[in-house]
Amino acid sequence: MALCTYDEQSRTWYGIQMVSIYNPKANVGEVLNHILVRTPERIMQIDMDTGNRMTCAEFRTRMIRFVQNLTDAGLRKGDIVAMANGNSENVAPLACALMTIGAPFNPLAPGFNEDNMAHMLRLTEPKMIFCDDSNVEVVGKAARSVLDGERPIYVFESSRTNVEHAEDLLKPTGREEQFVPPHLGNSHELLSMILCSSGTTGPPKGVCVTHAQIVATIGSYPMAKPMTVFNFSPLYWGTGVYVLLSTFSGLSTRLITRRPFSEETFFEAVEKYRANFVFLPPSYASQIVRHERVAQVDFSSLRMLSLGGSYVSEALRDKIDQLLPNGRTYNSVGTSEIGWVSCDLAKRKHGSVGTPTINIAIKIVDEAGNDLGIGEKGQVLIKGSEPFVGYYKNEVATKNTIDERGFTRSGDVGYFDEEGYLYLIDREKDIFKFRGFHISPSELEAIVAQIEGVLEVCVVAIPADADHTTELPTAAIVRSAGSSLSAKQITDIVDQKVSDFKRLRGGVYFMDHLPKTQTGKILRRKVLEKVLQLVEGNKVSC
């Protein structure tokens, strides 16, 4: 069976077309409840930090209690709930409960600083907020700065006496056995969640994901056999959401940990818990292959190691593939707007991100929107079985992203070969990623430009290593006349104003001038070339 087909008339590549086994008119809560009831004894989730194993029956009980207690607390269909949480034991049951109520959740990065938190809270105006003990102060300050009136903030796994505890919403109601998930209306319009996605400039936008999109994902991606699945991503990342959904679509067991990435935690997942499927960004994978004991680790359980989120080098894949006796690496691409887009499931081809996945259509167009053929480079447009409906409260961005045929502009430039393998060769805009986090150069430039002694600034991305596993934010600066501003002064100021992932890890480089066009626009590519020359010069001098 071919994994993709090409329609020459429309110049569109299609992944395998599958009809969802669930009714597209059903709401997410109805589908989740049905699956949990069918397999009550199946282990749904394993907490690597505590060893706790949660069956589907227990997961369903917690989900129901969240539904009933939150409803008693006044939460209703259409109310938005912010979730600034890592992967603790009760986060997944809460997220599923919110979708069952019809209250879309907005997952935020647990490590967001106050400004990033405040931006999304201002946009979504949540009725309730959930966070962790580690970020409750930041979340509280952000909420008070942008939201009118008091909003309840529930904290997971906290010993504080002056906060509302999320676990209180798990108290027995006495009505669990009578629970029937409500039908909430049109799944094609009803929002299940609002994911964060960086735009071409500035802070994140709110990506609206409908119930129909989630039901299609659960019903169209059955795995060949149950797997133990793992990644480090919280629900803020699309990969975190879709690995959670895989426990419903593929009857798999999800490993969770509160710990940040470390090689030893990864080794524990594959050796002790026998993980079969793992997703990693290339920056993590690069650290793993360099670890001193990687050659002694038992990788025999690992069948699929999916890499994505940024550029994946062939050399890195070669090193990992040599470690996997019963599996291999897979190069994957996904977007918050569409979900899983492409993967090299059939075979690996140098430089390719694979063929379109199930129910995905991809076409390449030129700047005028004309369809291009095989081997022709242009803008990459994507469409799923259920349409992307747009960005929350942002009609301009929605209009600029969705074309008149319902395709979503990915912001990437690429081409297809004759076998339907997609190659991404550049970004249409200047956004880049550090360990999966989107970085907006203009946002950092706006901060640096306000520093006294800075005349001009351009932020570029330099590769972190020879394998290009991630990109480091780097500032090229022209100082004002007479200024003695130092690189350390600049990084110290920026560090105080941005979230950790936005720090200028690539460094600060001073120049006499920045390359520009005749109209005065800074040539970012030329700046990058000059920065890379300076980086190489520093290596030689060392």
Residues 6+ apart with CB under 8 A from 347: none
The confidence score (pLDDT) of residue 108 equals 95
- Strand pairing partners for 356? 342
pLDDT for 199: 42
| Residue 328 and residue 285 in contact, taking contact as beta carbons nearer than 8 Å | no
Q: Residue 179 — pLDDT band, cuts 50, 70, 90?
A: very high
Between 161-175, 277-291, 316-330, the lowest mean confidence (pLDDT) is in: 277-291
Residue with tokens 């060392």: 542
Q: Which residue has the tokens 């090409």?
A: 6
Lowest mean pLDDT among 110-124, 316-330, 332-346, 436-450: 436-450
Rg (CA), the chain: 24
Q: Report how many helices (DSSP H) and strands (DSSP E) the chain contains, helices first.
A: 14, 27
Q: Lowest-pLDDT range, 97-106, 468-477, 495-504, 519-528?
A: 519-528
DSSP string, 457-505: EEEEEEESSTT--SEEEEEEEEEPTT----HHHHHHHHHHHS-GGGS-T
| 437: β partners | 434
Correct CATH for 431-541 of 3.30.300.30, 3.40.190.10, 3.30.70.20, 3.30.450.30: 3.30.300.30
Give the pLDDT mean for 316-338. 95
pLDDT confidence bin for 521, thresholds 50/70/90? low
Q: Percent of the chain at pLDDT above 70?
A: 96
Helix (H, G, I), strand (E, B) or coil at 151: coil
Only one residue has tokens 């379109």, namely: 356
Contacts 24+ apart (CB under 8 A), 72-79: 72/173, 73/128, 73/152, 73/169, 74/127, 75/101, 75/103, 75/127, 75/128, 76/101, 76/102, 76/103, 77/101, 77/102, 77/103, 77/184, 77/185, 78/102, 78/103, 79/103, 79/126, 79/127, 79/128
Please tell me the least confidently modeled range out of 44-58, 78-92, 521-535: 521-535
Residue 322 · residue 305 · CB < 8 Å: no
List phi, psi (to 5°) of 97.
-65, -40
Q: What is the pLDDT of residue 312?
A: 81
Cα 183 from chain centre: 29
State residue 518's pLDDT score: 43
How many residues are given for the chain? Answer: 542
Alpha helix ranges (H) inside 44-90: 56-72
Cα 401 from Cα 138, distance rounded (Å): 32
Task: Give dist(CA 516, CA 472) in Å, integer.
Answer: 23
Q: Would you say residue 192 has pLDDT above 70?
A: yes
Lowest mean pLDDT among 194-208, 439-453, 470-484: 194-208
Total Cβ atoms within 10 A of residue 455? 14
d(CA 166, CA 93): 12
Can you say how many angstroms the Cα of residue 56 is from the centroid of all Cα atoms in its chain? Answer: 26
Q: Taking the domains of the chain in order of start, what are their residue ranges?
A: 431-541
Q: Distance (Å, rounded) from C-alpha 210 to C-alpha 190? A: 6
Please give the pLDDT value at position 259.
95
Residue with tokens 């209250």: 103
**How many CB atoms sit inside 10 A of residue 46's CB?**
20
The most confident of 25-34, 191-200, 309-318, by mean pLDDT: 25-34
How many angstroms separate the CA atoms of 212 and 189, rounded?
8
Per residue in 488-499, pLDDT (tens digit) is 999 999 999 999
Alpha-carbon distances of 100 from 24, 192, 444, rounded to whole Å: 15, 9, 39
Which pLDDT does position 330 carry in this prediction? 96
State pLDDT tens for residues 142-158.
Answer: 999 999 988 999 999 99
Look up the pTM and report it.
Answer: 0.83
pLDDT at residue 515, as a whole number: 87
| pLDDT band, very low/low/confident/very high, at 519 (cuts 50, 70, 90) | very low
How high is the pLDDT of residue 201?
Answer: 41
pLDDT of 52-103, one tens digit each? 999 999 999 999 999 999 999 999 999 999 999 999 999 999 999 999 999 9
Q: What is the pLDDT of residues 501-514, one digit of tens each?
A: 999 999 999 999 98
**Structure tokens that stand for 368 in this block:** 């005028």
Least confident of 29-33, 131-135, 184-188, 451-455: 451-455
Q: Are 286 and 261 in contact (CB under 8 A)?
A: no
Q: Report the mean per-residue pLDDT for the chain.
A: 92
